[in-house]
Copies of this chain bind each other. A is one copy, B any other.
């Protein structure tokens, strides 16, 4: 759930749903370019929001767990096509809400409308920071940014550093950074040799989040934007 929607209005949002959908692991709930008139609230499971590039590579943008609102950026659009792919990483369940129903609710409930607008602004800003990292700071910036986001979303503080407590492969990191597995591998190993990170089994421990942040001018950006959700 977005920090910007109050509990009351979030419950209200959920009452607008007209059905629940079960999505099996690996299946797409929606795909970019597809016409659709729903958006969704995740009830259980996990979704990956991504785009495909011209040559078939997948650029991952968000990981969404329970209470995330997904597929919402096509609301109010002329042609109503999804901008992204939403794929279940685990067996999942979502609430489906019709776009037209949300519009009715927004007209009827201005307080809700303002909160909804805040939530969308929030999503936009998240996406914007991702965009900035990718375009303005290159592949390395994108990888650092991904590590920082994962730390904010899944990091647990240990005495050695911040442990990224998610099973994530180099290929996954590459998908989030629009780069190649090999490049991720090399970059991680240079970071390791600099003492910025280290490995615990397959997981990553970050010793100096500050170093990563400094490289991409990520000063003072609140953890609420700078996450992977």
Contact A107 B111 (CB under 8 A): yes
Interface residues on A, range: 35 or more
Residues of the B chain whose Cβ atoms lie less than 8 Å from the Cβ of A216: 54
Inter-chain CA distance A141–B178, complex, in Å, is 15
Inter-chain CA distance A133–B116, complex, in Å, is 28
Render A88-131 as a binary contact track against B, CB cut-off 8 A, 1 for contact. 00000000000000010011111101101110111011011001
Give this chain's copy count: 2
A70 to chain B, nearest CB (A): 15
A165 to chain B, nearest CB (A): 26
Tell me if A51 counts as interface (CB < 8 A to partner B). yes
Contact A114 B107 (CB under 8 A): yes
Contact B125 A128 (CB under 8 A): no
Tell me if A1 counts as interface (CB < 8 A to partner B). no
Contact A125 B224 (CB under 8 A): no
Tell me if A136 counts as interface (CB < 8 A to partner B). yes
Inter-chain CA distance A134–B178, complex, in Å, is 12
> Nearest chain-B residue to A128 (Cβ)?
B83
Contact B114 A73 (CB under 8 A): no
Tell me if A53 counts as interface (CB < 8 A to partner B). yes
A127 to chain B, nearest CB (A): 7
Q: A83-B128, A110-B110 are in contact. Are A121 and B77 (CB under 8 A)?
A: yes
Inter-chain CA distance A31–B141, complex, in Å, is 22
Contact B83 A135 (CB under 8 A): no
Residues of the B chain whose Cβ atoms lie less than 8 Å from the Cβ of A59: 135-136
A121 to chain B, nearest CB (A): 5
Render A127-168 as a binary contact track against B, CB cut-off 8 A, 1 for contact. 110011011110001000000000000000000000000000
A34 to chain B, nearest CB (A): 13
Q: Nearest 9 CB-CB pairs, A to B?
A: A53-B136, A113-B113, A76-B118, A110-B110, A131-B131, A107-B110, A76-B121, A124-B124, A134-B135
- Could you jot down 6 A-B contacts, CB within 8 Å? A51-B136, A53-B136, A54-B217, A76-B121, A103-B114, A127-B128
